Structure 1
């Protein structure tokens, strides 16, 4: 009696465990559906021949990315393994890592190879309807290893590594981002046009090498997006950095822009629809305000080589060419009716041309300026824009 009763209990327990397992297992199809729903650009979708679940891993067998619109194109991704997948509150998912297969293909004379592609710490939202960062697909790190591009077997572009990271603030109301591309190298010596080749030789730009870096922050409540650095630093050329701050870039605006972009993508052959969507996009952008901006350049020899080349073209020297530019600049600026800024620009350019070190253009109004006000000034009184935006120009500052 005891034996049979115990056996029935064991069988019942086994049956219960068997029936319960599917409820605990990951739903790979649901995960794929939510990844596509959260894909911000809305210009394509990932599909798979089959979706398999192995513990905490989800394998997308025979996956491909297909762009939407009239020129639909599919890019095979192979078997993608999503590692360390776990469910979170609200139907969301967290993926520890997604490794993408290496790219290695040749089309006509061009060969491209990319290695070590992965995403780490991916958050897939349960719903995209919210107005916080949890409604977006975010990642801790996006990474690419070496990229090599060659034409007829000759390397024309290489890159050692590229990466980008996102960090959500403790209050989940801000998002910091940073990243860069290291050891970029482009070989321009194969340019065939004689005039272009002559220019590249004179400027010593047959090969360019450098790095790209960026960093910034997005405050959700105010919609303030602050790009502190977007720098291009190339040897024998210089370092160009772009920085700007805009407000009004709220989640509502983001979703409206995405919807308009999807409309434009889906009606690429409808010129009237494209124009209407373009006007709608322009109207949406008017919800934003200009906070500040700065463009700075630190010279690493390109200015002198440029003046020497321009002078040679005019039958003179680089020093004389610099003096010609300094003499012509006030007349050119006078036509723009820039007021007091005209003298500031002239002084800064003169200082820079005498000793090329750095040149900075800044715009810092006392308070944010709505985009409609800037557009109105541009159409009605463009000469007022520098004062409206608080524009200043300086050179060779420490």
Structure 2
């Protein structure tokens, strides 16, 4: 082959590569559009002044977040998406999303949040599917120290927050966990004198605690299990909740999103009221499986009795006896003798020796929400039996 022929082939090949180049580059505008679509909100909640693409890094310059049309957009600054890959189905995978630190001030209040990141984020190409392939999911999201200050004084802070998800290989379910550490609140600066006195008497001028949430969503079956939702505060107590319901399928999610978009576009109150009724109709697709609420005392009960008693001119012990006597009288008007007995016995045991107080609802079979609503309106005294309610005090977990 002649040298001239070789040069022509080389130049032709180079030209093809140059023409093919744009096809392999990321489309930042498409990525942003699909992020917005996956968020399930009306309009485009995330916007940017420009979308810059450099290799596998996409930067949303001057990004803003506006979840509700009536609200003003919240400025986010420059959000950097690193390790962005376009998937074969048109979706995207993002290794890391880095948000700039937040330091926003309005009037006398300043909110600061640092070290905000997300990792291994999957953006669906199509949000209308019936599996988790059509949902925005991430492996981990975290934030560092968060503070809220008023007039330069910190009134609320978090040391750190972290949430993780674990999607099943067949995309049929996702497990999730949330951990918030170092929750601190300063209630000493409450302006209302009576409320300030109550806070001081209850020993609540400062709060120190944490939060944990863990659960699972089986998208195919529509079952949501919140296995643990716990708030724990030093010298106050621990409030734990768990509940499960069914019917939260992808079809339900799509219907809620569509209704939310339609409601956001409604201008008059009549249309908004109609949309609210439609949302209530959607809720009737859900089924109640079980629930439990448990409080473990760490000193707040006796302080509350002492405070309430002082307001009535009696001791905390006398206040406890008064509450024990009032409980069956209050419940008698609801015509639920079985529940009245359970609650009265539990209240007596708890007030005598504050330990734990547990309310459980374990129906023999799952109960559709319409049946619960019907019982609540037509025969409220049957609800404890319908839901399998039990009340206990000072029972070991």
Give the secondary structure class of the aligned counterpart of 1:312.
helix
Please name the residue that 1:18 is paired with.
18
Work out whether residues 175 and 219 of structure 1, in 8 Å CA contact, stay in contact via their aligned partners in 2: yes
State how 1:191-206 maps to structure 2 within 5 Å. Answer: 191-206=190-205
Please name the residue that 1:48 is paired with.
48
Cα offset, 1:63, TM superposition: 2.2
CA-to-aligned-CA distance 1:189-213 (integer Å, 9 cap, x gap): 1112110011011000000110011
Work out whether residues 244 and 293 of structure 1, in 8 Å CA contact, stay in contact via their aligned partners in 2: yes
Work out whether residues 145 and 162 of structure 1, in 8 Å CA contact, stay in contact via their aligned partners in 2: yes
2:150 aligned with 1:159, yes or no?
Answer: no
Task: Say if 1:242 and 1:22 are closer, same or farther in 2 by CA, change over 3 A.
Answer: same
Work out whether residues 94 and 123 of structure 1, in 8 Å CA contact, stay in contact via their aligned partners in 2: yes
Please name the residue that 2:358 is paired with.
360
5+ residue gaps, structure 2, are none
2:101 aligned with 1:102, yes or no?
Answer: yes
Give the secondary structure class of the aligned counterpart of 2:215.
strand
Give the secondary structure class of the aligned counterpart of 1:91.
coil
Work out whether residues 102 and 114 of structure 2, in 8 Å CA contact, stay in contact via their aligned partners in 1: yes
CA distance in 2: counterparts of 1:282 and 1:109, whole angstroms: 39
Cα offset, 1:140, TM superposition: 1.0
When structure 1 is superposed on structure 2, of 44-53 and 358-367 the one drifting more is 44-53
When structure 1 is superposed on structure 2, of 377-386 and 74-83 the one drifting more is 74-83
Please name the residue that 1:390 is paired with.
388
2:290 aligned with 1:304, yes or no?
Answer: no
When structure 1 is superposed on structure 2, of 41-50 and 25-34 the one drifting more is 41-50
When structure 1 is superposed on structure 2, of 348-357 and 71-80 the one drifting more is 71-80
CA distance in 2: counterparts of 1:151 and 1:50, whole angstroms: 34
5+ residue gaps, structure 1, are none
CA-to-aligned-CA distance 1:3-23 (integer Å, 9 cap, x gap): 222222221121111111111
Please name the residue that 1:150 is paired with.
149
Work out whether residues 343 and 391 of structure 2, in 8 Å CA contact, stay in contact via their aligned partners in 1: yes
CA distance in 2: counterparts of 1:169 and 1:387, whole angstroms: 37
CA-to-aligned-CA distance 1:291-347 (integer Å, 9 cap, x gap): 000000000000000000111111111111101111111111111111212111111
Please name the residue that 1:379 is paired with.
377
Cα offset, 1:254, TM superposition: 1.0
Work out whether residues 67 and 73 of structure 1, in 8 Å CA contact, stay in contact via their aligned partners in 2: no
2:246 aligned with 1:247, yes or no?
Answer: yes
Work out whether residues 76 and 102 of structure 2, in 8 Å CA contact, stay in contact via their aligned partners in 1: no
Please name the residue that 2:260 is paired with.
261
Count, aligned residues: 396
State how 1:120-269 maps to structure 2 within 5 Å. Answer: 120-267=119-266, 269=267
Give the secondary structure class of the aligned counterpart of 2:171.
coil
User: What's the TM-score, normalizing by structure 1?
Assistant: 0.97
Work out whether residues 47 and 65 of structure 1, in 8 Å CA contact, stay in contact via their aligned partners in 2: yes
Detail structure 1 runs of 4+ shifted over 4 Å in the superposition. none
Give the secondary structure class of the aligned counterpart of 2:351.
helix
CA RMSD of aligned residues (A): 1.3
CA-to-aligned-CA distance 1:268-297 (integer Å, 9 cap, x gap): x52111110111011111011110000000
